[in-house]
Amino acid sequence: MIIDCHYHLDTRYFSIDEMIQRMDASGIDKVALMAAMNEPFKEPPVLLVKILNTLLSHTFTQWLARVFVENFTTDGDIKISGKTYKIYHHPNNSQVFEVAEKFPKRFFAWVFVRPNSSIDPIEEVHKWIKHPQFIGVKAHPFWHRYPPKQLIPIAKIISNIGKPLLIHAGYDEHGDFFELIKKIPDLKLILAHAAFPGYSSTWKKIKNNPNVFVDLSQTSYVSEAVTKSVVKYLGADRCLYGTDGPYGFSDKDGKFDFSFIKRRIEKLFPSKEMQQKILGGNFKKIVGLGSY
């Protein structure tokens, strides 16, 4: 079973029917949905993405990449390629679970939380935790601007039932997730985008912690070289297939290419055993759906 573990539901890009059609065409069995957290935006030109990939992947140029990716307005919105896009304070979990409930054979659902908001994140998790399509909690300390340690109460809840926490870490205090794994050593923690923004420096710190994983999603943050390097360093058992769709490289029709990252993984890792683990087997084990 091939499972995309990281996809933001946004019907302004695709209707649900069109999503399923494209999943079928790409050979993707299931998608783990999470709420959209921002206004739609176009992926930067391929050349700019390649330049950003290069800056992000080399320690001595990561400071320069930070100038481009950590560009927020005073209102907390994000600037991408010179344009400002609204970041949503309260991602819509209801829509995600509604879709997952309607199409249970095709979709799982993450609960997206933000601890520094007017909505109680603990209440939000308890609202959905018994839903049959619930597979864990998603959080974005980077764009929502808070230190990951604020997620400790949430992490304790889901760790007790063996579900994972998927986070998009940021810089400085917004990227310090180590307090989470120190306080809750049994927590299954997934770091989005190959452990952006630390990459190899973060891989070294988590190497000996088997409960910390990375997903391989995003084309702006994760290059082919980074994908190859992180799988080699952490091992195929610690890496998960995801896309961060509907954001990423476009297909010939100008819309998000559902199979781009899947094709990348299949090309880089011809071993069927490795593919089986990365493309779905690891995720099934982490969320408690059985072995691969």
Query: What whole-number distance in Å separates Cα of residue 5 and Cα of residue 283?
Result: 7
Task: Give the per-residue pLDDT at 262.
Answer: 98
- Residue labelled with tokens 């794994």: 181
Task: Say if 189 falls within a structural domain.
Answer: yes
**DSSP H helical ranges for the chain:** 16-26, 46-57, 62-69, 93-102, 121-128, 141-144, 152-160, 178-183, 200-206, 224-234, 260-268, 272-276, 282-287
Task: Give the per-residue pLDDT at 45.
Answer: 85
Token pair of 100, please? Answer: 């997952």
For 99-140, write each residue's pLDDT tens digit: 999 999 999 999 999 998 889 999 999 999 999 999 999 999
pLDDT, average across residues 266-286: 98
Task: Report the relative pairing of strands 83-85 and 78-80 from DSSP bridges.
Answer: antiparallel
Mean pLDDT, the chain, integer: 96
Task: Say if 198 falls within a structural domain.
Answer: yes
Quick one: angle between helices 93-102 and 121-128, nearest 10? Answer: 10
290: pLDDT strictly greater than 80:
no
Task: Say if 292 falls within a structural domain.
Answer: no
143: pLDDT strictly greater than 90:
yes
Q: Are 176 and 140 in contact (CB under 8 A)?
A: no
Q: Are 278 and 237 in contact (CB under 8 A)?
A: no
pLDDT, average across residues 186-190: 98
DSSP 8-state code for residue 250:
B
263: pLDDT strictly greater than 60:
yes
Q: Are 277 and 286 in contact (CB under 8 A)?
A: no
7: pLDDT strictly greater than 60:
yes
Q: What is the CATH number of the domain that holds 207?
A: 3.20.20.140
pLDDT > 90: percent of the chain? 93
For 218-261, write each residue's pLDDT tens digit: 999 999 999 999 999 999 999 999 999 999 999 989 999 999 99
- If one compares 290 and 155, the residue with the highest pLDDT of the two is 155
Task: Give the per-residue pLDDT at 292.
Answer: 47
Task: Give the per-residue pLDDT at 81.
Answer: 86
Task: Give the per-residue pLDDT at 82.
Answer: 87
17: pLDDT strictly greater than 60:
yes
83: pLDDT strictly greater than 70:
yes
Task: Say if 130 falls within a structural domain.
Answer: yes
Confidence of residue 46 (pLDDT cuts 50, 70, 90): confident
Task: Say if 27 falls within a structural domain.
Answer: yes
**Which residue range(s) make up the domain with 13?**
3-287
199: pLDDT strictly greater than 90:
yes
Confidence of residue 291 (pLDDT cuts 50, 70, 90): low
Count: domains in the chain = 1
